[in-house]
Structure 1
Amino acid sequence: MAPKLEVVSVVDAVIADLRRRMFSGDLPPGAPLTEATVAATYDVARTTAKAAIESLVGERLLVRNAHKTARVVTLDADDVRDVYRTRSLIEGQVVRTLADQKRVPDAARLALDEMHALADADPERIVAPDMRFHRALVDALGSARTSRAYEALASEVVLCMSHVQGAALLPTADIVSEHEEILRRIVDGDAAGAAAAVHDHLGRASDRLAALVEIRAAETR
Structure 2
Amino acid sequence: MAEQLTGLADDRALLGRTSTAERVSDILRGRIAEGFFPPGTRLSEDSIGGALGVSRNTLREAFRLLTHERLLVHELNRGVFVRVLTVEDVEDIYRTRRLVECAVVRGLGEPPYDLEALAAVVEESRKAAREGDWKGVGTANIHFHRELVALAGSARTDELMRSVFAELRLAFHVVDDPRRLHEPYLARNRQILQALQAGDRTEAEKLLATYLDDSLERVVDVYRRRVGEGEALL
Give the TM bin, normalised by the shorter chain: 0.7 to 0.9
> What is the CA deviation profile of residues 173-215 of structure 1, one whole-angstrom value per residue up to 9, with x for unaligned ones?
x221010111122223322221111112222221111111122
Q: Gapped runs of 5+ residues in structure 1? A: 1-7
Separation in structure 1 between the aligned mates of residue 174 and residue 109 of structure 2, nearest angstrom: 30
> Is 1:129 paired with 2:129?
no
2:168 paired with 1:157 = yes
Deviations 1:146-167 (Å, cap 9, x if unpaired)?
2232224232133234545864
CA contact (8 A) 2:20 2:58 kept: no
- Cα 1:10–1:53 shift into 2, 3 Å: closer
TM-score, scaled to structure 1: 0.76
- Tell me, in whole angstroms, the C-alpha distance in 1 between the residues paired with 2:37 and 2:143: 23
- Check whether the contact 1:185–1:194 (CA below 8 A) recurs between aligned residues: yes
Deviation readout 1:11-68 (Å, 9 max, x if unpaired): 8468635863686475433x444xxx32245535422331332232133111237888
**1:1-221 superposed matches below 5 A:** 12=23, 16=27, 20=31, 24=35, 27-29=38-40, 31-33=41-43, 37-40=44-47, 42-43=49-50, 45-64=55-74, 69-98=79-108, 100-120=110-130, 121-164=132-175, 167-172=178-183, 174-218=184-228
96-105 vs 18-27, which moves further: 18-27
CA RMSD after TM alignment: 3.4
For 2:101, the aligned partner's letter is E
Q: Given the superposition, is the C-alpha separation of residues 181 and 62 from structure 1 closer, same or farther in structure 2, using an over 3 Å criterion?
A: same
Change (3 A) 1:185 1:85: same
Residues 22, 197 of structure 1: CA spacing in aligned structure 2 closer, same or farther, 3 A cutoff?
closer
The structure that has the greater radius of gyration is: 2
Whole-Å Cα distance in 2 between the matches of residues 148 and 14 of structure 1? 13
Q: Secondary structure at the match of 2:108?
A: helix
Give the Cα separation in 2 of the matches to 1:209 and 1:90.
19
Cross-structure match for 1:5? none
Inter-CA distance 162–98: structure 2 relative to 1 (3 Å threshold):
farther
TM-score calculated relative to the size of structure 2: 0.73
Percentage identity across paired residues of the two chains: 26
Q: How many residues align?
A: 209
